[in-house]
Chain A
Amino acid sequence: MLLLLANMFSLRLPIPLEKTLITSLPKTSTTYSAYSGMTRFQVCHRYLSNSITKRGTSVVAFQDEADGEIFVDEDFLEVDPLPVELQPELMPKHVAVIMDGNGRWAKMKGLPTSAGHVAGTQSFKRIVKLCYGWGIKVLTVFAFSMDNWIRPKVETEFLLNLFERSILSQVEECKRKGIQISVIGDTSKLPKSLKSMIANAEETTKENPKFQLILAVSYSGKYDVVQACKSVAKKVQDGLLHLEEINENIIEKELETNCTEFPYPDLLIRTSGELRVSNFLLWQLAYTEFFFNQKLWPDFGKDEFVEALSSFQNRQRRYGGRH
């Protein structure tokens, strides 16, 4: 259950729309500016690129606020428009995912486990792209559980090495796209080089984020609560807090998910048919809507994600938001 960030986005800077039919670009979504001085929006239209005509394609375009020049973000040439069954105002702000089933997927196909992780990477890429394009603010993925340390050392070392190389290759591009990378979990057990890589990635991508990707690595919900309590104890020791002031709200503020403006997932998706949270975000999931899907993670695609979002939105319409 470890994500691979390799080739998450093959990123280049936006290109000028020299051969397009775009004449006016209605603003369908204007949120943060991924690039300084530019407004981002998403449109559905037909455009020509060399000899290729794409019909009904949704693109992410940027308009320079100074001179009005328009650029297309080539990596989002194929951004899926929001399906008609989903309402933008009812999108969850924070989605959490337990990406389960890579190993079983590989076994079913007679492939090595590593092939399952590679396939799982594609699903991960898809989900990140869809969340980014559909206005979800935070995506938290359970990349490596503290419980996974019981796996053979050879396997865990291989996975963490892969993870490190993946972060290294993607950091600058995430920065350009306004994707903030945050890592939560007990990093004390991680190799020194990976710890350093994580610190660098977090520092590099922290400015002007429009989307936050939280990777839970060597994480457990109980660990999170314990470390929060330790932080509180330190504050008491340092005279910043009195014992009488300690309550659940004080503890909540010290959880590792305080790295985001939206620490409580609205929706948790778990694949492969398992019906447990497996020590993930225990404190934070009190009012989270659960969506358990039978598909193995490498097979979890847009349709399944739409189903999860649709289910979430239907319940929101009927019963309102969290308590």
Chain B
Amino acid sequence: MDFRDGAHNLYHIIVASLHIGKLRYLAVVIESEEAHQTSKVIKLLQWLDSVGVKNVCLYDMNGVLKKSKDTIFQIMKNAKSIEEVNEDVTHHAPDHMTLEFVSYVDGKEAVAKAANLIFVENFKRHDIGGELDHQILLESHLNQALQIVGCKGPEPDLLLVYGPVRSHLGFPPWRIRYTEIVHMGSLNFMRYGSLIKAIYNFTKVRHNYGT
């Protein structure tokens, strides 16, 4: 048995011990230049599938991954798009992967659209005798409006950044309040072991939210 066999067996042990249920939704941010490497993206998704991570949001700023969507679904035959899945993705049975494709326009621009939607509704109500109240806008209203304009994905538990910069590169800001952010380095040098380590570390962490 050589070193690689040993490492492989070790990974199996670690994967088997993962409390993967804690990772309900994973986001992967890829720097747009690197996102052109569709084969690497698919390999990453296959690794995630094998580990038991079923709900994945793929993001790159320029929408390169969106353009690769068809190719990815051709290879990942057991994957479905989040638009196809009706139920709350974090609760569906783990027989298939759910993939969401997101880019910069789904972030700040989407918030602007959602806010606009609320304003239009509010002014409509005013026109037909309702009350015009600019203070009516609450966080919950924005949440609902974002769903309407197409931003259905939940807040990821973990966000992996592949690229040279330790930044989430404009991932939808409304969705990363308590998301763990891990920089993985360049996609060119992605390693299965590093991926397992990042997921393992996440599942170990105890989260204090404000206390």
Please report A residues at the B interface, Cβ cutoff 8 Å.
145, 147-151, 220-223, 225-226, 229-230, 232-234, 236-237, 243, 246-248, 250-252, 275-279, 282-283, 285-291, 315, 318-319, 323
Query: Known pairs A226-B139, A286-B173. 5 more at Cβ < 8 A?
Result: A147-B209, A233-B118, A243-B123, A252-B108, A278-B177
B18-26, B83-91, B109-117 - interface stretch: B109-117
- Taking the complex as formed, is B165 at the interface, i.e. its CB lies under 8 A from any CB of chain A? yes
Produce 1/0 per residue, B88-131, CB < 8 A to A.
00000000000000000001110110011011101100000000
Select which of A147, A243, A283, A287 is within 8 A of B210 by beta carbon: A147
Q: Within B157-211, which residues are at the interface with A (CB < 8 Å)?
A: 164-171, 173-174, 176-183, 209-211
- Taking the complex as formed, is B61 at the interface, i.e. its CB lies under 8 A from any CB of chain A? yes
- Taking the complex as formed, is B132 at the interface, i.e. its CB lies under 8 A from any CB of chain A? yes
CB atoms of B170 and A287 under 8 A apart: yes
CB atoms of A286 and B170 under 8 A apart: yes
Query: A114 CA to B18 CA in the complex, in Å?
Result: 37
Known contacts A277-B176, A290-B166; decide if A283 and B108 are in contact (CB<8 Å).
yes
CB atoms of A251 and B112 under 8 A apart: yes
Q: Within B129-165, which residues are at the interface with A (CB < 8 Å)?
A: 132, 134-135, 137-139, 142, 164-165
Query: A243 CA to B174 CA in the complex, in Å?
Result: 22
CB atoms of B164 and A318 under 8 A apart: yes
Categorize the interface residue count of chain B: 35 or more
- CB-based A-B contact count at 8 angstroms: 122
CB atoms of B116 and A282 under 8 A apart: no
CB atoms of A225 and B142 under 8 A apart: yes
Instruction: Name the residue of chain A whose CB is nearest to the CB of B140.
Output: A226
CB atoms of B164 and A246 under 8 A apart: no
Please report B residues at the A interface, Cβ cutoff 8 Å.
61, 107-109, 111-112, 115-116, 118-120, 122-123, 132, 134-135, 137-139, 142, 164-171, 173-174, 176-183, 209-211
Select which of A150, A246, A276, A323 is within 8 A of B178 by beta carbon: A276
Query: A121 CA to B168 CA in the complex, in Å?
Result: 30
CB atoms of B116 and A286 under 8 A apart: no
CB distance from B146 to the nearest CB of A (A): 11
Instruction: Name the residue of chain B whose CB is nearest to the CB of A145.
Output: B210
CB atoms of A246 and B173 under 8 A apart: no
Instruction: Name the residue of chain B whose CB is nearest to the CB of A148.
Output: B210
Query: A155 CA to B164 CA in the complex, in Å?
Result: 42
Name, among B122, B132, B177, B182, the residue most crowded by chain A CB atoms within 10 Å (CB to CB): B177
CB atoms of A243 and B119 under 8 A apart: yes
Known contacts A236-B119, A286-B168; decide if A323 and B181 are in contact (CB<8 Å).
no
CB atoms of B168 and A285 under 8 A apart: yes
Residues of B within 8 A of A279 (CB): 177-178
Residues of B within 8 A of A288 (CB): 167
CB atoms of B174 and A222 under 8 A apart: yes
Instruction: Name the residue of chain A whose CB is nearest to the CB of B177.
Output: A279
Residues of B within 8 A of A289 (CB): 165-167
Select which of A226, A286, A315 is within 8 A of B142 by beta carbon: A226
Residues of B within 8 A of A276 (CB): 177-181
CB atoms of A248 and B167 under 8 A apart: no
Known contacts A147-B210, A282-B173, A285-B168; decide if A290 and B181 are in contact (CB<8 Å).
yes
The 6 tightest CB contacts between A and B, nearest first, are A147-B210, A233-B134, A248-B108, A282-B173, A286-B170, A229-B115
Residues of A within 8 A of B166 (CB): 289-291, 315
